[in-house]
Amino acid sequence: MASTGVPLEARAQARADMARARSRTSFDIVPVRHWLHGDAEAWENHAQLVRIVSHEAVVNLPGRPFMSREERYANGQAIINRFNELRIQNQWSDEQLERALLVTGQILPSSLHATAFQPVILRQGSDEQIRLWGPAISARAIIGCYAQTELGHGTDVAALETTATFDPKTDEFVLHSPTLTSTKWWIGGLGRTATHAVVQAQLHLQGKALGPHLFFVQLRSLEDHSTLPGRTIGDIGPKALGAHQAVDHGFLRFDSVRIPRFNMLSKFAKVTREGQYVQPPHAKLVYGGMLYIRAQMNHHAVWLLGKAITISIRYCTIRRQGKVGADGLAPQVISYPSTYYRLLPILANAYVFNAIAHHLHAEYEAMSALLARGDASLLPEVHIALAAMKVLVSTDALAGLDIARRAMGGHGFSEFAGGGRLLADHTPAVTYEGDNYVLDKQVVRAAVKGHQMGVQLPAESLSVFAFLGQLAAPMSAPVSARDLAQTLRYRAANVVKNFAQLKDSTQDPGAEARVSRAVGDAYVAGIAANALEQGLPGGEPVHRLFLLHLLTTVESALADLPNVDSRALRAHIGAACADILPDAIGLTDAFGFTDWELDSALGVYDGAVYDALWERASKSGFNAASPHEKEYKAHIMAILERGRKEVARL
Ligand SMILES: Cc1cc2nc3c(=O)[nH]c(=O)nc-3n(C[C@H](O)[C@H](O)[C@H](O)COP(=O)(O)OP(=O)(O)OC[C@H]3O[C@@H](n4cnc5c(N)ncnc54)[C@H](O)[C@@H]3O)c2cc1C
């Protein structure tokens, strides 16, 4: 490689800074790593997948920024094709295949096959339907997408226009798109890939509209992939911020397409041969598939945040800027209070959200087990907890990804840093699977209802409604986890009580988002405080992270907590940050990301950031001689000559 021109001392210093920071780790990272991944076995499985997948030539992570959209799509398909070979070679389960695709860190053309199409069928299909379609779905003998959103209707699912009308003469449903606005739109993996879809359509029986239901529909031929008659399918075009490039989000129209009655997903609601409607036992069951996806989203957000904060803390550890000190060196950027105050709470969020993701996963599984027995008693609690956490985790992850990127200064804006890519890919997560502002309304409605019913749960409850009735004024200087959590429960109870007294939302247009945030914060705080009391792996450093999360959450709520001593609180935050700082590298190493997974010049494990940046820039196709010459002859030469002539005329 050519000389970089960066003085050797700075490059050696970067490595030395990283090694020194790592050597200050005061805890055993192995149990923490196991906790982050779920357990030791989950970590081993993950590491094994990374070892296999990272040697696959088709997964060209550093090459991504130089690919066109067509190339990204084609590469995405090549990855899926190769990984399905690996699935057979390595006897991977569906879940292992999904995890293998996830470790590539990219959103692939048929990601929705495993994250929406398959789970919705498994959870909403009858036993007979699963028996018939399940093996083909698992083996990727068919590729599916999830078609709910329409050009004119997203949030308001009840207003979807696509119709599924039962024809008793032929025992079929007729799917139809009656208007332009009824065109299915934004459907991941549909534009050029999917052979099948689960379609949300308004069920019409004997002239009556019975609301949206799910239908299994073939779209393309399994012989030659051509579009089947009556379907109009295409790609909706590139996405904002250059994100989700490999995915063919598509549109779909039906012109009186007939499907057998059997194809309505009928675990819960059914239509009989005579055209009679059999009601689901619980109205919300129809949206059960969405709950699964929301439960998964929390895990994804943790790993995105984990990557972003690992990159940012590593870079800020080796980056030195500012006045040279007695040691002859400029300070490390991470040593500035205004830097670590920005970054450590993001690290804390990644850890605390991991606890939330695991807690909610267990709640979701418990709810599903009960639902399978026809018992919907846990559904309202899990539904609201997942809605509140979808909002809180995706919102804070988005904010954290940008803060982590900005903390890296100009280099953070380079594609080679990796932070911008994580941010762009996560950006729509606050919109899909329920727009966050709309979910706020559901959380607030449930909280106000609980308040009006006088619900009061025991103090040790971890329910999303545990804050209700907790109106005893908090202490002015909460420090312990229990007191901080109690402060946040008080704040939630108080803002819900005040909101319930509002005549209408025009009196306080921002109230719903604030109330939902207060409910979400109280829920997270209850689980975080409980985890601290139960004990966490890693001892003090991890405990301090959880405490930092609680302290900064109370800080963000000060407007609702006038009697809390803000100066004392901020002093505790400063002390917690200072205590955590020596372990910052260890706490990020605990995630266990390899350099291949991070795909970031700024986040390299050994701190050799300048070498990594230089190498990536040197390899950039943009620096090849011939294209530049072409542009020079075509345009640059003319611009310069014109300019010279103008100057000569002066
Ligand atoms: C990257 C990406 C992938 C997607 N993949 C899929 C997919 O595979 N399948 C699929 O079916 N869909 C998919 N979607 C669509 C997604 O589910 C919708 O974008 C989402 O449901 C929001 O609907 P909308 O876009 O129509 O927004 P709208 O519902 O039109 O919302 C627009 C604005 O209005 C506000 N708003 C709406 N209703 C209310 C209300 N009642 N009260 C107050 N404010 C309100 C919202 O907060 C938002 O700010 C995807 C979207 C994206 C961006």
CB atoms within 10 A of CB 566: 14
CA 532 to chain centre: 25
Planar angle of CA 424, 427, 429, nearest 5 degrees: 135
pLDDT at 538 over 60: yes
Catalytic-role residue among 150, 172, 363, 433? 433
Burial of 357 (0-12, 13-18, 19+ CB in 10 A): buried
Give the whole-angstrom CA distance, residue 524 versus residue 475: 20
Q: What percent of the chain has pLDDT over 90?
A: 86
CA 431 to chain centre: 11
pLDDT at 198 over 80: yes
Which atom of ligand 1 lies at the shortest distance from residue 184's CA?
11
Interface predicted TM-score of the whole assembly (ipTM), two decimals: 0.99
Q: Say if ligand 1 is within 6 A of residue 149 CB.
A: yes
Confidence class of residue 1 from pLDDT cuts 50, 70 and 90?
very low
Q: How far is CA 486 from CA 94, 223, 467, 471, in A?
A: 42, 62, 8, 10
Whose C-alpha lies nearest to ligand 1, atom 47? 437
Q: Which residues are annotated as a binding site for FAD?
A: 149, 188
Q: β-strand 250-254 against 184-187: which pairing, if any?
A: antiparallel
User: Which residue from 112, 185, 186, 505 has its CB within 8 A of the most atoms of ligand 1, so it is best to mutate?
Assistant: 186
**CATH annotation of 118-279:** 2.40.110.10
Is residue 153 within 8 A of residue 184, CB to CB? The reply is no
Q: Say what the pLDDT of residue 627 is.
A: 59
Query: What is the 437 CA–ligand 1 centroid distance (Å)?
Result: 10
Cα atoms found within 13 Å of the Cα of residue 548, Cβ hemisphere only: 28
Which residue has 């190769």 as its token pair? 82
CB atoms within 10 A of CB 622: 9
Whose C-alpha lies nearest to ligand 1, atom 40? 438
Q: Say if ligand 1 is within 6 A of residue 187 CB.
A: yes
Burial of 473 (0-12, 13-18, 19+ CB in 10 A): exposed
Q: Say if ligand 1 is within 6 A of residue 431 CB.
A: yes
Is residue 254 within 8 A of residue 277, CB to CB? The reply is no
Whose C-alpha lies nearest to ligand 1, atom 12? 149
Q: Say if ligand 1 is within 6 A of residue 124 CB.
A: no
Q: Which residues, in sequence order, are CB contacts of 646 under 8 Å at separation 6+? A: none
Is residue 244 within 8 A of residue 426, CB to CB? The reply is no
Burial per residue of 297-332, b for 16 or more beta-carbon CB atoms within 10 angstroms, e otherwise: bbbbbbbbbbbbbbbbbbbbbbbbeeeeeeeeeebb
Is residue 544 within 8 A of residue 580, CB to CB? The reply is yes
Q: Say if ligand 1 is within 6 A of residue 483 CB.
A: no
Whose C-alpha lies nearest to ligand 1, atom 17? 432
Confidence class of residue 5 from pLDDT cuts 50, 70 and 90?
low
Residue 372 φ/ψ, nearest 5 degrees: -60, -25
Helix axes 566-580, 337-372, angle to 10 degrees: 90
Contacts 24+ apart (CB under 8 A), 276-279: 276/205, 277/203, 277/205, 277/210
Q: What percent of the chain has pLDDT over 70?
A: 97
Confidence class of residue 167 from pLDDT cuts 50, 70 and 90?
very high
Is residue 215 within 8 A of residue 175, CB to CB? The reply is yes
Is residue 354 within 8 A of residue 302, CB to CB? The reply is yes
Q: Say if ligand 1 is within 6 A of residue 388 CB.
A: no
User: Which residue from 117, 182, 293, 438 has its CB within 8 A of the most atoms of ligand 1, so it is best to mutate?
Assistant: 438
H-helix or E-strand spanning residue 270: strand 270-271
Which atom of ligand 1 lies at the shortest distance from residue 200's CA?
11
Which atom of ligand 1 lies at the shortest distance from residue 434's CA?
21
Query: What is the 435 CA–ligand 1 centroid distance (Å)?
Result: 6
User: Which residue from 113, 149, 150, 241 has its CB within 8 A of the most atoms of ligand 1, so it is best to mutate?
Assistant: 149
The verdict on domain 289-321+333-589 having CATH code 1.10.390.10 is: no
pLDDT at 8 over 90: no
Q: Say if ligand 1 is within 6 A of residue 435 CB.
A: yes
Longest distance between any two alpha carbons in the chain, whole Å:
90
Query: What is the 162 CA–ligand 1 centroid distance (Å)?
Result: 17
Query: What is the 522 CA–ligand 1 centroid distance (Å)?
Result: 27
Give the whole-angstrom CA distance, residue 348 versus residue 550: 9
Confidence class of residue 286 from pLDDT cuts 50, 70 and 90?
low
Q: Alpha helix (H) ranges present in 373-435? A: 379-406, 419-426
Measured over the CA atoms of residue 423, residue 443, residue 380 and residue 366, the dihedral's sign is: positive
For the chain, the average pLDDT equals 94
Q: Say if ligand 1 is within 6 A of residue 418 CB.
A: no
Q: Say what the pLDDT of residue 289 is.
A: 57
Q: Per-residue pLDDT tens for 331-390?
A: 999 999 999 999 999 999 999 999 999 999 999 999 988 877 778 889 899 999 999 999
Q: Say if ligand 1 is within 6 A of residue 442 CB.
A: no
Give the whole-angstrom CA distance, residue 495 versus residue 517: 10
Whose C-alpha lies nearest to ligand 1, atom 29? 155
Q: Say if ligand 1 is within 6 A of residue 405 CB.
A: no
**Among candidate residues 393, 392, 417, the one with its CA nearest the CA of residue 404:** 417
The lowest-confidence range among 232-236, 597-601, 614-618 is: 614-618
Measured over the CA atoms of residue 92, residue 96, residue 100 and residue 101, the dihedral's sign is: positive
Whose C-alpha lies nearest to ligand 1, atom 25? 154
CB atoms within 10 A of CB 275: 13
Q: Say what the pLDDT of residue 110 is.
A: 84
Cα distance between the two ends of the chain: 46
Give a three-class secondary structure readout of 285-346: HHHHHHHHHHHHHHHHHHHHHHHHHHHHHHHHHHCECCCCCCCCCCCEHHHCHHHHHHHHHH
pLDDT at 154 over 50: yes
- Known active-site residue 9: no
Q: Per-residue pLDDT tens for 472-500?
A: 888 888 899 999 999 999 999 999 999 99
Higher-scoring residue by pLDDT: 302, 627: 302
Q: Per-residue pLDDT tens for 591-608?
A: 999 999 999 999 999 999
pLDDT at 288 over 80: no
- Domain range summary for the chain, segments of one domain joined by +: 118-279, 289-321+333-589, 624-650
Q: Say what the pLDDT of residue 472 is.
A: 87
Q: Say if ligand 1 is within 6 A of residue 105 CB.
A: no
Q: How far is CA 390 from CA 155, 182, 352, 434, 510, in A?
A: 15, 27, 14, 8, 19
pLDDT at 279 over 90: no
Q: Which residues are annotated as a binding site?
A: 149, 188
Q: Say what the pLDDT of residue 371 is.
A: 79
Rounded average pLDDT over 32-36: 98
Whose C-alpha lies nearest to ligand 1, atom 30? 154
Query: What is the 148 CA–ligand 1 centroid distance (Å)?
Result: 10
